[in-house]
Amino acid sequence: MGISHQDLAGAFHARGHQLWLVGGALRDRLLGIDSHDQDYATDADPDAVEALVRGLGATVTTVGKRFGTIGVRVQGFWSEITTFRGDSYSGGTRWPDVTFGASIEEDLARRDFTINAFAEDAFSHRFLDLYHGRQDLAARVIRAVGDPATRFREDPLRILRGIRFASQLDFEVEPGTLAGMAQTADLIPTLSQERVTAELDKLLQGANPARGLEALRETGALPFGLPELAPMVGCEQNRFHQFDVWGHSVATVQAVAVTPETVRLRRWAALMHDLGKPAIRHVKANGEWGFYRHETIGAELATSLLDRLKLGRAESHAIVLLVRRHMDRPEPGDRRSVRRFMARVPEHWRDLLALKRADNASHTYDDREYHDRLEAACLRAEEEEREALRAESPLTGDDLVRIFDREPGPWIRVIKERLSTLVLDGDLAPGDREGAERIARRMLNRGRA
């Protein structure tokens, strides 16, 4: 468990130092949200902080020390203790990457939004709300501390943080802050891709992603943060659609059913599913807009966009697959067609179905009944497959792992499928374990599994 918040507060106080709880943890507490990372601000310099917490026997990390931060385990969680920030530099020349401030007031003035600029004295519990952040929390507003454009110019990441908070908390960006974002959005490309991607990722997983995405568009940040998506804005569609491609994509992100495990994949896929449309749009014989095979070019465009974003390989692969397959429309009554649909998105048919439902939800026609039938057919196919594997193969997966002394993996499925087919076809007797073992060995030797 390590040291407690009270241990820290007492130790700083005893040495005549200030220690303030600051930032997101106070915001989250006021919102009634659990937050594990505690940030502290202090007048003590990083050497003094390190000596103090080591004196308490705490678990300490100094990786952030040259930025003024000492990491400490407090009540089981990593916390950061950072020397006051400011414009003025007080001290020697040992901390080249930061400027230290003289007071908590100066430190709070450097923070990005009013709802992130609270401080609470760890010892006396005195609460500072110099920028009326509590009012903004109650009114559900994101408001910059100080002059918005100046603050965004200092650090353009704040633009994306503000928009991300709007999505995460379902807050409105205050008009002056929104205008400041619009004035400075062209500075976004000066940020590292990792930081931009991290914010976009949080935005998409927020409570109201449509709010964040619309703020990206409204502020003009979209062409700088996600230029590949910008052509969707104003790309008009046919009479089945109420929105342009952008509006439809945002509506799809908002509509797609998610769980904490699927939110990341499904929302990114929903955002990109029609990425190919602006590039492929053409006039059809009947005079309407056509988007023939937009899913193919969309999958290609998504591949390069995801490469640039560095979202992670497994996730990117799955997103591209969902983009590529979102127009698939198997006949629910046809087993082969349903199985092919599922086999094209291994492990992801539920995600694909969720995407298709959401895609449809913002069309002018209602296809719910079709998707219900398709879902029922997929569940049936899955159950049949499970039964076939369970009942028919004379050897179980565990048997195979034991007999061949190999790590479990896709090879088991390949062998079991072959064995069950042989049983179903009458070429292997049910329960013929020796025969089954011979066949499995032959398959492995030939590298067929």
Binding interface with ligand ATP (CB under 6 A): 23-24, 37, 39, 111-112, 116, 155, 157-158, 161
Binding mask 18-57 for Mg ion (x = CB under 5 A): ------x------------x--------------------
Q: Which of 135, 177, 130 is nearest to 158 (CA)?
A: 177
Side-chain half-sphere of 250: how many Cα atoms within 13 Å?
23
- Cβ proximity to ligand ATP: between 138 and 391 the closer is 138
Q: Is 14 exposed, middle or buried (0-12, 13-18, 19+ CB in 10 A)?
A: exposed
Which of Mg ion, ligand ATP, none interacts with 435 (beta carbon under 5 to 8 A by kind)? none
Return the H-helix or E-strand segment holding 40: strand 39-42
Smallest distance from Mg ion to CB 116, Å: 9
Binding mask 341-380 for Mg ion (x = CB under 5 A): ----------------------------------------
Which of ligand ATP, Mg ion, none interacts with 155 (beta carbon under 5 to 8 A by kind)? ligand ATP
Smallest distance from ligand ATP to CB 366, Å: 38
Pairing of strands 119-121, 127-128: antiparallel
The residue of the chain with the least Cβ separation from ligand ATP equals 24
Q: Which pair of tokens denotes residue 40?
A: 């502290």
71 in helix, strand or coil?
Answer: strand
Helices (DSSP H) in 99-208: which residue ranges?
104-109, 133-139, 148-154, 157-169, 175-184, 193-204
Dihedral in degrees, nearest 10, Cα atoms 154, 156, 159, 164: -120
295 in helix, strand or coil?
Answer: helix
CA-to-CA distance for 386 and 62, rounded, in angstroms?
Answer: 52
Which of Mg ion, ligand ATP, none interacts with 372 (beta carbon under 5 to 8 A by kind)? none
Which of Mg ion, ligand ATP, none interacts with 172 (beta carbon under 5 to 8 A by kind)? none
Smallest distance from Mg ion to CB 164, Å: 12
Binding mask 130-149 for Mg ion (x = CB under 5 A): --------------------
- Cβ proximity to ligand ATP: between 111 and 294 the closer is 111
Distances (CA, A) of 69 to 47, 91, 322: 10, 16, 42
- Tracing tokens 């500075």 back to the chain, one arrives at 187
Which of ligand ATP, Mg ion, none interacts with 416 (beta carbon under 5 to 8 A by kind)? none
Supply φ then ψ for residue 127, to 5 degrees.
-105, 130
Distances (CA, A) of 203 to 127, 195, 208: 29, 12, 8
Smallest distance from ligand ATP to CB 87, Å: 13
CA-to-CA distance for 364 and 384, rounded, in angstroms?
Answer: 35
Taking a C-beta distance cutoff of 8 angstroms, is the pair 205, 267 a contact?
A: yes
Distances (CA, A) of 263 to 183, 260, 392: 32, 6, 36
Q: Which pair of tokens denotes residue 345?
A: 């998105």
- Cβ proximity to Mg ion: between 164 and 418 the closer is 164
Smallest distance from ligand ATP to CB 52, Å: 21
Smallest distance from ligand ATP to CB 62, Å: 19
- Cβ proximity to ligand ATP: between 155 and 218 the closer is 155
Taking a C-beta distance cutoff of 8 angstroms, is the pair 151, 158 a contact?
A: yes
- Cβ proximity to Mg ion: between 161 and 267 the closer is 161
Which of Mg ion, ligand ATP, none interacts with 325 (beta carbon under 5 to 8 A by kind)? none
Which of Mg ion, ligand ATP, none interacts with 158 (beta carbon under 5 to 8 A by kind)? ligand ATP
Smallest distance from Mg ion to CB 134, Å: 19
Q: What is the largest CA-CA distance in the chain?
A: 86
Which of Mg ion, ligand ATP, none interacts with 324 (beta carbon under 5 to 8 A by kind)? none
Which of Mg ion, ligand ATP, none interacts with 111 (beta carbon under 5 to 8 A by kind)? ligand ATP
What is the DSSP track for 363-416?
BSS--HHHHHHHHHHHHHHHHHHHHHHHHH-SS-HHHHHHHHT---SHHHHHHH
Which of Mg ion, ligand ATP, none interacts with 418 (beta carbon under 5 to 8 A by kind)? none
Smallest distance from ligand ATP to CB 155, Å: 5
Smallest distance from Mg ion to CB 203, Å: 16
Smallest distance from Mg ion to CB 2, Å: 19
CA-to-CA distance for 204 and 163, rounded, in angstroms?
Answer: 11
- Cβ proximity to ligand ATP: between 21 and 320 the closer is 21
Is residue 64 a contact residue for Mg ion (CB under 5 A)?
A: no
The one-letter amino acid at 308: R
Residues that bind Mg ion (CB under 5 A): 24, 37
